Amino acid sequence: MTFYVTTPIYYANSLPHLGHLYTMIVADTIARSKRQKGIETYFLTGTDEHGINIERAAEKSGRTPKEQADYVVSYYKKMTAEFGLDTAHGGYDIFMRTTEPFHYQGASELWRRCAKAKTPKGNDAIYKGHYEGWFCAACAEYKTEDEYQKPKTEGAPPTCLIHDIALDRVSEDGYFFRLSDYDEALLSVYESQPDFVRPESRRNEVISFVKGGLQDLSISRLKTSVSWGVPVPDDPEHTMYVWFEALINYITAIGFGNEEREKIVGFEKFWPALHLVGKDILRFHAVYWPAFLLAAGIELPRAIVAHGMWLDPNGRKMSKTLGNTIELDVLQQHFNVDAIRYFVLREMVFGQDGRFGYEGLIDRANSDLASGLGNLSSRTLTMIARYSEGRIPARQIAEDKLLFAKRTGVDTDETTVAGFIELARDQYLQQFEALNFSRALEVAWSIVARIDKIITDAKPWDLAKDENQKQTLDAILYRSAEAIRWLSVMLFPIMPQACTAIWNQLGLKATPGTHDPAKLIWGELEEGTTIGEVKPIFPRIDKNKVMSEITSGTETQQKPHATAADAVDNAQPKTETPTPTPVHHATEADAVGVTSFIEIGDFAKVDLRVGQVLSAERVPKADKLLLLKIDIGEAEPRQVLAGIAQYYEPEKLINRKVVIVANLKPRKLRGFESQGMVVAASYGEEGRPVIATFTEDVPNGARLK
């Protein structure tokens, strides 16, 4: 059995950012999960190096197009190594470059096959004609009237709705692909393989696009207008349209049209692929690409899966002008790679748009990783070191000690916890297979919560004081260690380094990367195994410190950034231009800014209470903070700190009804403990707070639900 997964190949005109990294992380995660199951897997990523946009970027930075591509590729290689995504770290198998000679060969072969082919309606698949229309260099796409902004001044060119740059007028003879003849054939593919385009919402978009009628596609340019491309076979005055040629990379990389490559990798062996793409380039992959393959008589891809876009925390598309892009250098410098992987997979509901902010990343890393998985693992291992001489303890409680165990409330039957974890594992894998990473991770964290609770309830530190409870203590620690073993196998594809570290700290050899999570059996962690050295896996991130480093870093780095890297970036309108709204394929959910949904149970976890302010005073030396005493119907009023001093006079708050998050973990601010949080709206650039209140009478302590 084999498996082949691809990311898009990235334009070699500009340096990568979070959006590019994301697809690589998803592909890498999928590839590792397949390898874990022993499936021979091939993972492709790479660069799309031809076309007018790269030619122009090169010209601007005084390089040849090949030098330009080499420069961008060297950055990609450095970046993928730093993020553990390259071959040396068990990541991609090929960094594909469309300037490779074998790609030229394979692309020519595919063209030839299409040129010989008849469409399903009996016409020549490729024909010569005249193209007259508008072209966006940044999209590398011809634009129809509803896809561009008409010029405000007469005679000026229209502009691209996505990039806001002037379109090129194209009027030349060239080759066309008779896409219009493929509508029925494509619709029958979508019909017969409902999983061909995923998720469902995107599939529906594709179907309605095809049903709306397909136009023939111009697939070449005159060499005199675009010279940087693969020559059309037997007609060197023309170069192939960059999208036509770039899509073919997915098969040339593994050997199509080149015997040597076929021997090294194997088209027969690995095709068809699972293509991961952003929703903005879905049409090329789900409509054009299958049509080319149908013409050439080649099997269609396994599936095309489209993910959403990363937006900033306020829901705006990332752009350099707005200054809201996530730079990979900054990410790499301040965060653990696995924390980044976890965050992007947990945060983005696959298929929908997601929001990325450093603060959100820090909060999640601290709560889910440092306080969650990391803490569970280190407290378990530390206790094993302390109470069990650093060896995995025995799991069974002997008959004569059962009563003692029962007295402490510990479930003496380990099958309860084993059953829970098995079920969670199955659900996790089901969600993972469906690429619902966010949901899968939620399920995995239910295991963390369960084991945490078992430990907290059993209080091993008390058990350790009583000789009669030695076996109870051992059993609890065994369950916890075994759960951690399971988690490190399950989560390995998502956090390979951290899971390997946990695995090794458990005293296990090699890596969890060769263990199939579906085959985990409870109790296979061997008693007596000597654990490894216990080290923190996810150190807590000091939010204020890191945020101020990032903020000052980005300010001072603006100049250094504007050196070599910018030579490339300036040449690319794609990320430089403030983009209005994402117009392409915008769904209703995008329009209202809904990016992820929670279950009602998630909401129920937040204990919101009506409170009344009894007193309010300023906090010395903290000009933003007010110290409030709030009655929420409990015996004692709560002391809550609120960052609203610049907007509210303390005395005016007295008696005011407010909403309090009552189950927020207490924390200390400026030496005062804050036992909850006042809920407020936040608006405007500086995030002006407006306290939530009630217009009707409501008793203190009433719950909001």
**Residues engaged in binding ligand MSP (CB under 6 A):** 8-11, 19-20, 22-23, 48, 246-247, 277-278, 280-281, 309-310, 318
114 is annotated as an active-site residue: no
Residue nearer to ligand MSP on the CB measure, 31 or 658:
31
- Strand, helix or coil at 148? strand
Minimum CB distance to ligand MSP, residue 465 (Å): 54
| Nearer to ligand MSP (CB atom), residue 12 or residue 498 | 12
499 included as an active-site residue: no
* Cα–Cα distance for residue pair 28/251, rounded to 1 Å: 19
CB within 8 A of 101, min separation 6: which ones?
Answer: none
Shortest Å, Cβ 197 to ligand MSP: 15
CB of 23 to ligand MSP, least distance (A): 6
Q: Which residue is nearest to ligand MSP (CB)?
A: 278
Q: Which is nearer to ligand MSP, 10 or 648 (CB)?
A: 10
Active site residue 136: yes
470: left (phi over 0), alpha (psi -120 to 50) or beta: alpha
Q: How far apart are CA 29 and CA 26, in angstroms?
A: 5
Residue with smaller CB distance to ligand MSP, 326 or 373: 326
- Which residue in the list 50, 317, 334, 657 is annotated as catalytic? 317
**Active site residue: 34, 103, 163, 515, which one?**
163
Set 160, 238, 334, 585: catalytic member: 160
Q: How far is the CB of 527 from ligand MSP (least distance, A)?
A: 47
From 136, 238, 285, 657, active-site residue: 136
The secondary structure of residue 322, as a DSSP letter, is T
> From the CB of 423, what's the least distance to ligand MSP, in Å?
33
Active site annotation includes 17: yes
Specify the DSSP element, H or E, that contains 5: strand 2-11
Q: Which of 5/281 has CB closer to ligand MSP?
A: 281
Are the beta carbons of 527 and 549 closer than 8 angstroms?
Answer: no
List the catalytic residue out of 50, 275, 307, 320: 320
Phi-psi region of 35 (alpha: psi -120 to 50; beta: other; left: phi over 0): alpha
| Nearer to ligand MSP among residue 230 and residue 318 (C-beta) | 318
DSSP string for residues in 259-321 = HHHHHHT-HHHHPSPEEEEEGGGHHIIIIIHHHHHHHHT-PPPSEEEEE--EE-TTSPBP-TT
Known catalytic residue at 317: yes
Q: Are 14 and 72 in contact, with CB atoms under 8 Å apart?
A: yes
Q: For the CB of residue 336, give the shortest distance to ligand MSP in the complex, in Å.
A: 21
* HSE-up of residue 66 (Cα within 13 Å, Cβ side): 3
Q: How far is the CB of 72 from ligand MSP (least distance, A)?
A: 10
In the complex with ligand MSP, the residue whose CB is nearer, 148 or 289, is: 289
> Torsion angle of alpha carbons 238, 239, 242, 246, nearest 10°?
130
Set 34, 139, 499, 574: catalytic member? 139
Q: What is the 3-state secondary structure (H, E, C) of 602-654?
A: HHHCCCEEEEEEEEEEEECCEEEEEEEEEECCCCCCEEEEECCCCCCCHHHHC
Longest CA span, the chain: 94
Residues with catalytic roles? 17, 20, 136, 139, 160, 163, 317, 320
